Structure 1
Amino acid sequence: MAVLGRGTPLELALESALDGIPMANDRALARHLAATVLRWLPDLDALIDSATPKPLPDDARARQVLRIALAGWLKLGTPPHAVVSTALPLVEGGPRRLVHGVLGSLIRRPAELPEIPHLPDLFAIRWAMDWGPEAAEAAAASLADEPATDLTLRDGRETERWAAALGGVSLLPGHVRVPRSKDLGPLTEWPGFAEGAWWVQDIAASLPVRLLGAQPGERVLDLCAAPGGKTLQLAALGCDVTAVDVSDARLERVRENLARTGLSATLSAGDALRWEPEGLYDRILLDAPCSATGIFRRHPDVLHLKGARDLTPLTLLQAALLRRAANWLKPGGTLVYATCSLDPREGERIAERVVATLPRVPFEAAELPLGLQPTADGWVRTLPGQLAADGGMDGFFIGRMRKISP
């Protein structure tokens, strides 16, 4: 209800929603159940509407309860009798008879979900127009289940060791992908967590730093740094890193991960539109705030957050940040601009706005990992369907530019 009604991101909504659930397994189940509803929402609603004389309002408590019950039964394997007995108390004082009747009708049918979920119409249409119907179909397929967990290693030379210890596979040096089928318990109990050998980071999210080309000892600025995966990558390379984010609270997680991994960086809280650096930088990474639609396979709530639909404020901010960051490069310095969005208005079109003052440095196929190919303009664009046989990857735009030497 927080996600769909108030536009609250799921992870933020869960912080308060799970306060009264003490057991870790129960908390994990609640999170998985909520995420499953969001993955299959159009299809769950279609089933509900097929069993009611007239459609329930989208925000009706009965609809929310039926969504949860059907997700538990059809996707998590909860027995029908348990689904009914746990659903009815959620509508005490409300339409219990309606909920009981709808569930009974769908269980007797028995109801089924399609093999692949349907995307919300807005994204099904937009992604088909922007990237083709195959990409939209691949996006729907990748939404069906929670993806594997990607880890970036502090020391890439230990890739083989940690892949074996975690029962995962490596797609790149310094990367391990752990399948969901591996029952390793809570993340904090996985091998290597306590000693800071790795951090969670989708493989696509690791690409901007890999393509920045930073060298040990270089002064590197990481703008909009939280939650900090890219700061850790740069610190692990031996760079002199300054990480900037809008508030100290957002930097707290970066601070914790630096302490856990034994890495170091200078953290600075401030609005990047007003923050002033001390000197110029050899390289700058700007992973700009965006609608985050590219991370839908891990965070399905982004497909349902109403605030992500009007991109005008975000695109104005992205362009302003990019132009401002350009002023902080040393002559000959390199800037990488990235967004975890599948909307070209937040990627390709933003980058095009500044190429007159900060010329692009096209990516070459030979320098791109994972079989990626540069776009016709020399950018990098990751899309649904890429690496599908290996578990997929997030959607990202990555552009590289360089300040001309005087």
Structure 2
Amino acid sequence: MVRPNNQVKADPPGVPARRAALRLLDAVLRRGQALESALESAGAGLAPNDRGLAHAIAAEALRRLPDLDALIDSATRQRLPDDAKARFALRIALVQALGLGTPPHAAISTVLPLVDGGPRKLVHGVFGTLMRANKGLPDQPTLPDPVAIRWHAAWGDDFIADAERAVASPPPIDLTLRDPAAAPDLEGISLLPGHLRLDARAPITGLEGFAEGGWWVQDLAASLPARLLGPGRGSAFDLCAAPGGKTLQLAAAGWEVTAVDISESRLARLNENLDRTGLKAKAIAADLLQWQPGEQADAILLDAPCSATGIFRRHPDVLHRVRPSLIAEMAALQAKLLARAASWVRPGGTLVYATCSLESAEGEAQLAAFLARNTGFVIDAIRADELPETVTPLPDGTLRTRPGMLADRGGLDGFFIARLTRLSP
């Protein structure tokens, strides 16, 4: 379906980025790859601006996929197969013209070289029909049916409406400050001490305070698990630590941090941020199912691998590639990691369990099963005064952040977080 990379050089201007966008969509929708991981291969040989454009086109197409497909189906006598190259090309042309503000003539002329023969005539004809009819995309994207059905059964009507509003555009940029008393002179709002949500997007490395290590980029919801451990009072393990935002938080709070992650390349990024901020932590590349610490810790933060459906605003590919089988696989891994992490907490110590997932199997159900097996742990209730205003814990003292929270101030990624105490014998 996709031409080899060496053909990109022969393409007219503007086409290489669209060809890369096609590869990205193919990787996500047909092969189940994550959008970010597919970018390196799909964008090989492209200039940075073309690479960025390819990513933007693919990401916006994934946000709008059900609505794009509904438009395509409304203008064809026979439904195109989901994996038809003509459908992929039309998605790319339409999302540019209707979602990204590309002039229609540029949107179609840069896409037609992606298809040959009869499909090219079909793509040109369908696109022209829809443009002449002044068709558009709805203000709120439609969630893919499997996701909508699953989330509706778990969370109800309001959740679906909030999720559709949330996926409409990329989320804001949040910064976590190394020193809450030394905020950079940047335009934004603070929703918690040591937090800044920027008003506008700009090249991160050029902003005040970056080179000096005064802050790092970290979604507000992702910063909550480490915040819940409070000021440092001994040793802490940050498990599944990379890319390192939570490690930096714990180190800045005064914990003696050991950060463990299976990915050496992601730990390299963590170490770069430690160097930039001047913070200290011990980084270890290891498989947590095999690793054993030399001693127990006073606090453990397990931000476990998960389906990542809670970060669909940033990574809309999860709406299309995450299926129940992956959720079950991740839940089984989380149970193993929780069991191991629990044994590494000192009596009287704290274990924070978190996942960036909107699936109860990776949150509420996971915790219930853990507590049933581990009677030596109890929930240490999260308090409202530890959270952004209007974000409230669940009645059992755990936290579920959801689409719709803080919607008027830029929203919040979806997380499940529980803080547990290990009882003394």
Normalising by structure 1, report the TM-score: 0.94
Q: Does 1:285 align with 2:301?
A: yes
The amino acid that maps onto 2:212 is: E
Instruction: Name the counterpart of 1:13.
Output: 38
Which segments of structure 1 move beyond 4 Å, counting only runs of 4 or more?
306-309
- Find the counterpart in structure 2 of residue 380 from structure 1: 399
- Distance across 2 between alignment mates of 1:155 and 1:202: 17
Asked if 2 retains the 8 angstrom alpha-carbon contact of 1:294 and 1:342, the reply is yes
Query: 1:371–1:117: structure 2 CA closer, same or farther, 3 Å change rule?
Result: same
**Matched residue of 1:284: which SS?**
strand
Letter in 1 for 2:172: A
Equivalent residue number for residue 255 of structure 2: 239
| 1:206 equivalent in structure 2 | 223
The residue matched to 1:118 in structure 2 has which SS? coil
Q: Distance in 2 between matches of 1:273 and 1:84?
A: 50
Distance verdict in 2 for CA 1:309–1:68, change over 3 Å: farther
Looking at structure 1, the residues matched to 116 and 182 of structure 2 have their Cα atoms a distance apart, in angstroms, of 55
Give secondary structure in 2 for the equivalent of 1:244: strand
Deviations 1:189-210 (A, max 9, x none): 2222222221111100000011
What's the counterpart of residue 329 of structure 1?
Answer: 345
- Choose the corresponding residue for 2:98, options 74, 88, 101: 74
The residue aligned with 1:267 is: 283
Q: Is the 8 A contact 2:261 2:287 kept in 1?
A: yes
Contact 2:173 2:201 in 1 (8 A): no
- Alignment of 1:114 with 2:130, yes or no, is no
Matched residue type, 2:351 = L
Contact (CA 8 Å) 1:291, 1:308: kept in 2 or not? no
Cα deviation code 1:54-113 (max 9, x no counterpart): 111111111111101111000111111111211111114561101100111011001111
**Do the aligned residues in 1 keep the contact of 2:328 with 2:361 (CA within 8 Å)?**
no
Say if 2:369 is the partner of 1:350. Answer: no
Query: Aligned residue for 1:188?
Result: 205
| Structure 1: runs of 5+ lacking an equivalent | none
Give the superposed CA RMSD. Answer: 1.5
- How far 1:217 sits from its partner (Å)? 5.1
Q: Do 1:69 and 1:83's aligned partners in 2 also have CA atoms closer than 8 Å?
A: yes
Structure 2 unaligned spans of 5+:
1-25
Amino acid at match of 1:11: E
Task: Say if 1:217 and 1:377 are closer, same or farther in 2 by CA, change over 3 A.
Answer: closer
Q: Which residue, out of 270, 276, 301, partners 1:254?
A: 270
Work out the CA distance in 2 between the residues paired with 1:176 and 1:368. Answer: 14
What do the CA deviations read for 1:183-232 (whole angstroms, capped 9, x no partner)?
A: 53x3222222222221111100000011122x335100001111111011
CA distance in structure 1 between the aligned counterparts of 2:385 and 2:120, rounded to whole angstroms: 62
Q: Deviations over 1:301-342 (max 9, x none)?
A: 111114564322211111111111111111100100000000
C-alpha separation in 2, matches of 1:395 and 1:247? 24
- Who is 1:166 aligned against? 186
AA of the residue aligned to 2:216: W
Q: Which moved more, 1:186-195 or 1:268-277?
A: 186-195
Give, in whole Å, the separation in 1 of the partners of 2:380 and 2:281: 27
Residue aligning to 1:404:
423
The counterpart of 1:225, out of the listed 238, 241, 244, is 241
Which residue of structure 2 aligns with residue 128 of structure 1?
152
Q: Number of residue pairs matched?
A: 397
**What secondary structure does 1:384 align onto?**
coil
Question: Contact conserved, 2:97 with 2:103, CA < 8 A, in 1?
Answer: yes
Contact 2:57 2:92 in 1 (8 A): yes
